[in-house]
């Protein structure tokens, strides 16, 4: 497995692969890898074949974090990530620095962004913004989040030139926005969305689960319990008012002493359009604070 940290080297390799007729699969991550990430790698390998190239990027993207979010504390374990990627058959690991991805010019000196998700206005200033699907749910709770996501993913697409890119279904809204960006901006990339992997108790696998200590880990299962109760309700009643279902989820979450509901939404899975009545096929998405840790989950009912 190769490891590349510089943009120029990444672009040189992707051009070589293209000339050789190799298919390229990309799995963008922020590191601290787990089994869910490795399932995306397997999906990418199936998509490009044995003779293709699978690239995993590890980059904790500062532009998708708000000023009061956990950018500086986000879990990082590159040594372990390297070992997992080798074991999963990754061909190349792309680990750029902030200075590579978001160069900031102050006078004649290039400065690294270090630990702050802020940028000098005289330096980096170009962003990719999706303006329809990004307004609700995560977009409403984290106003600048998706601008950072679409920008960094667009940059990765230009650098890696993938035929296929694989994302996880846990970030359902993110996957929908990336699909829209690809269609609107004519990226020649096929987007695959792989199923959410869960722990035995139903908690969706996430790098942020490492924050959960003591009783908080048990309380975090309230997200999966909310999904299961919504599913059981629709299985029994076939149709149910979304407003009443939201109230029921909020009440369930508030039964946990350290849990706080950020949002819960019921919507059409393809368009993200909210529904007045929940039926079979409706998508549920919710975000819950467990202590200081914010977790998200979603599922089709």
SS3 191: strand
The 3-state secondary structure of 5-62 reads CCHHHHHHHHHHHHHCCCCEEEEEECCCCCHHHHHHHHHHHHHHCCCCEEEEEECCCH
- pTM for this one? 0.93
For strand 190-194 and strand 164-168, is the pairing parallel, antiparallel, or unpaired?
parallel
| pLDDT tens-digit readout, 238-289 | 999 999 999 999 999 999 999 999 999 999 999 999 999 999 999 999 999 9
> Count of CB atoms within 10 A of residue 281's CB?
11
| pLDDT tens-digit readout, 186-203 | 999 999 999 999 999 999
Angular region, 49: left φ>0, alpha ψ -120 to 50, beta rest: left
**Which residues are known to be catalytic?**
37
- How confident is residue 113, by pLDDT bands cut at 50, 70 and 90? very low
Angular region, 71: left φ>0, alpha ψ -120 to 50, beta rest: alpha
CA separation for the pair 268, 117 (Å, rounded): 33
The radius of gyration of the chain's CA atoms, rounded to the nearest angstrom, is: 20
Tokens found for residue 148? 């950072």
Q: How many residues in the chain?
A: 301
Say if residue 90's pLDDT is above 90.
yes
Alpha helices in the chain (DSSP H): 7-19, 35-48, 78-87, 98-101, 138-141, 145-160, 172-184, 215-219, 222-237, 242-254
* pLDDT for 121: 45
The mean pLDDT of the chain is 94
**Complete domains list, the chain, with CATH:** 2-194 (3.40.50.620), 207-300 (3.30.1300.10)
């Amino acid at each position: 497995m190769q490891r590349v940290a510089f943009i120029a080297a990444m672009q040189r390799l992707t051009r070589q692969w293209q000339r050789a007729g190799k298919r390229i699969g990309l799995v963008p991550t922020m590191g601290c890898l787990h089994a869910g990430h490795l399932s995306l790698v397997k999906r990418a390998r199936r998509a490009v074949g044995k003779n293709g190239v699978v690239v995993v990027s590890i980059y904790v993207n500062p532009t998708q974090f708000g000023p009061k979010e956990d950018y500086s504390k986000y879990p990082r374990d590159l040594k372990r990530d390297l070992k997992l990627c080798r074991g999963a058959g990754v061909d190349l690991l792309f680990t750029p620095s902030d200075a590579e991805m978001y160069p900031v010019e102050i006078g004649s000196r290039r400065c690294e962004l270090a630990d702050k998700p802020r940028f000098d206005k005289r330096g980096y200033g170009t962003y990719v913004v999706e303006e329809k699907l990004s307004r609700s749910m995560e977009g409403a709770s984290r106003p600048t989040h998706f601008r950072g996501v679409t920008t960094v993913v667009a940059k990765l697409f230009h650098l890696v030139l993938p035929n296929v890119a694989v994302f996880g279904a846990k970030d359902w809204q993110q996957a929908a926005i990336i699909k829209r960006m690809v269609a609107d901006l004519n990226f020649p990339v096929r987007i695959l969305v792989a199923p959410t992997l869960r722990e035995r108790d139903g908690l969706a696998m996430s790098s942020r689960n490492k924050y959960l200590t003591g009783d908080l880990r048990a309380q975090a299962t309230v997200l999966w319990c909310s999904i299961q109760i919504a599913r059981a309700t629709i299985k029994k009643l076939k149709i149910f008012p979304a407003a009443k279902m939201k109230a029921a989820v909020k009440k369930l979450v508030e039964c946990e002493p350290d849990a706080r509901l950020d949002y819960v939404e019921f919507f059409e899975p393809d368009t993200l359009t909210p529904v007045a009545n929940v039926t079979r096929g409706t998508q549920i998405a919710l975000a819950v604070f467990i202590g200081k840790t914010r977790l998200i989950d979603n599922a089709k009912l």
